[in-house]
Structure 1
Amino acid sequence: MTANQSQSRSGDQYRIRADYDARTIVVYQAYSPAIADAALRAGRFVAPFSFQRMTWVKPSFRWLMHRSNWGRKAGQERILGVRMTREGWEEALSRAVLTTADPAAVAKAAVHLQWDPERSVRGAALNHYSIQVGIGRQLIRTFAEEWVVGLTDLTPQVRKAAELVQGGRAAQAQRLFPPEREYPWPAG
């Protein structure tokens, strides 16, 4: 499935919103302390990160906050901003198969693509969707060794934002979120 095929599904509801620049895009992942600490020390993903299983990346910070319960779920206590090349991101999109496609096609796909309801600061489902991209075993080393150009530990920022949200100060918390704007779909 190409990105354009995905975009045509429903206009405004299916748009990638991300923090990006001319060369890179930031995606978010939640990990255990052991994985995050090793990756941050090395400046790249290394063991105990698994190169044998799919890894899911999400350009929506709020969606990952919902998914990881603000870094409070077991095994998801550390939130990393993963800066990857736009070339790698767009390569992944060009090879993606929607998880709702034919099961045989999904099983063979190097990359899985899924749309989930975007989330408000407080976790409520919104009326537009956020993209998740699952990078499979066939591309996981390429992702980790070629596409990833930087890792940032966002855990302290997440903890502070979570405290603000819990204290009824969602607007103040949102100022701590990374900026996201509509990402242009690659031609194809």
Structure 2
Amino acid sequence: MDEPQHGIRALYTVSTVTVYQAYSPEIGVPAVRGGRFPAAWKRDRMTWIKPSFLWMMYRCGWGTKEGQETVLGIEISRVGFEWALRHACLSSYVRGLHSDRSTWQRELKRAPARVQWDPERDLHLQPLPYRSLQLGLSGDAVRRYADEWTVGIRDVTPLAREIRALVSSGDLDSAARLLPGEEPYPAEGELMAHLRS
């Protein structure tokens, strides 16, 4: 089956969707323990969430990059996730989608969320020919994410290490079987029309 050029692939249930972030142990460990982001987590800056496990692995180097050693799987409400999509603006200007560059810049400044489409990754973390969603949250969206949307936080660092070890040993079939079961997320129509680049 052909993958859409821009699609959301995610592990989701009827009411939740899992996104990934990576932090230092000082943030990640208390977040897992308490099921909430700790006081040290900065609410005043943009935070990027990624529904794609392998894109997160690319970004954090399987949890080996400094400050990204603890990889979190954060289960958030689909209601919140879709609110962010509805209120998001593309992070780049697209001729034809935006009426003009200055209108897009005003929208970007006002929007509590922004969308970036980045190449999806394979098990070797090499780019694939289609793109996956990164969702940046700021302002009101960060508060809602931390206080209202988050249902649970789990440490997926051991899973990342196990998959990485299997990839390193050449056992790609076993590695693939351990990947989270991401499926195309049902986000079409008005939910996505303003976010296709």
TM superposition score normalised by structure 1:
0.90
Q: Percent identity?
A: 43
Q: Give the Cα–Cα distance (whole angstroms) in 2 for the partners of residues 38 and 52 of structure 1.
A: 19
Q: Give the Cα–Cα distance (whole angstroms) in 1 for the partners of residues 60 and 91 of structure 2.
A: 21
Please point out which of 85, 97, 115 is paired with 1:93: 85
Answer with 1 or 2: which has the greater Rg.
2
Count of residue pairs brought into register by the alignment: 178
Q: Give the Cα–Cα distance (whole angstroms) in 2 for the partners of residues 29 and 179 of structure 1.
A: 17
SS of equivalent to 1:132: strand
Structure 2 equivalent of residue 169 of structure 1: 171
Are 1:49 and 2:41 an aligned pair? yes
Checking the alignment, whether the CA contact within 8 Å between 1:90 and 1:186 is kept in structure 2 is no
Gaps of 5+ in 1: 1-10
Q: Give the Cα–Cα distance (whole angstroms) in 1 for the partners of residues 54 and 77 of structure 2.
A: 21
Are 1:143 and 2:145 an aligned pair? yes
Q: Give the Cα–Cα distance (whole angstroms) in 2 for the partners of residues 174 and 73 of structure 1.
A: 22
Checking the alignment, whether the CA contact within 8 Å between 1:71 and 1:78 is kept in structure 2 is yes
Structure 1 equivalent of residue 30 of structure 2: 38
Q: Give the Cα–Cα distance (whole angstroms) in 1 for the partners of residues 38 and 110 of structure 2.
A: 26
1:187 CA displacement: 4.9
Q: After the TM superposition, which residues 79-158 of structure 1 pair with which residues of structure 2 at under 5 Å, given as runs?
A: 79-101=71-93, 102-158=104-160
Q: Give the Cα–Cα distance (whole angstroms) in 1 for the partners of residues 74 and 184 of structure 2.
A: 18
Q: Give the Cα–Cα distance (whole angstroms) in 2 for the partners of residues 92 and 43 of structure 1.
A: 21
- The structure 1 segments of at least 4 consecutive aligned residues displaced by more than 3 Å after TM superposition are none
Q: Give the Cα–Cα distance (whole angstroms) in 2 for the partners of residues 137 and 53 of structure 1.
A: 8
TM superposition score normalised by structure 2:
0.86
Deviations 1:26-80 (A, max 9, x none): 0011111010111112111122111111110010001100111101111111111
Gaps of 5+ in 2: 94-103, 191-197
